[in-house]
Amino acid sequence: MNRIIQNYNNSKHHKEQIEITLSKLNSLRSQIIELRIKCEKLKFETEKRNRKICEKCKKEIRKNEKVTFKNTSKKITNHFHKRCFEILVACLN
């Protein structure tokens, strides 16, 4: 009889442990979701901040097609599309 009670108590204890673990897991899951949302927001903000507009055509410049022109004396930084910059350089020559 004692053994049955002990088994019952053990299984009750296990069940409680499983419930605690599950609730921890659920809490972690919701934390992960929150972190993902924060991460996406940060990514969006960074992309927005890093967005460059071409000085020549006034359109947005995507990665890999950017030319940065710095005039260190006037501390001006201009951004161009590679193609737009080539056209400008060709006009100067």
Beta strand residue intervals within the chain, DSSP E: 52-53, 60-61, 66-71, 76-81
Per-position x/- string for 25-54, each x denoting binding to Zn ion as judged by CB under 5 A, each - no binding:
-----------------------------x
- Site residues for Zn ion, 72-91, by CB under 5 A, read 81, 84
- Environment class of 93 (CB within 10 Å of its CB; exposed 0-12, middle 13-18, buried 19+): exposed
Give yes or no for residue 67 binding Zn ion (CB under 5 A): no
**Closest distance between Zn ion and the C-beta of residue 29, in Å?**
45
Structure token digits, residue 62? 């995507």
Neighbour count for residue 52 (Cβ, 10 Å): 16
CB closest to Zn ion, residue no: 54
Binding residues for Zn ion, rule: CB under 5 A, are: 54, 56-57, 81, 84
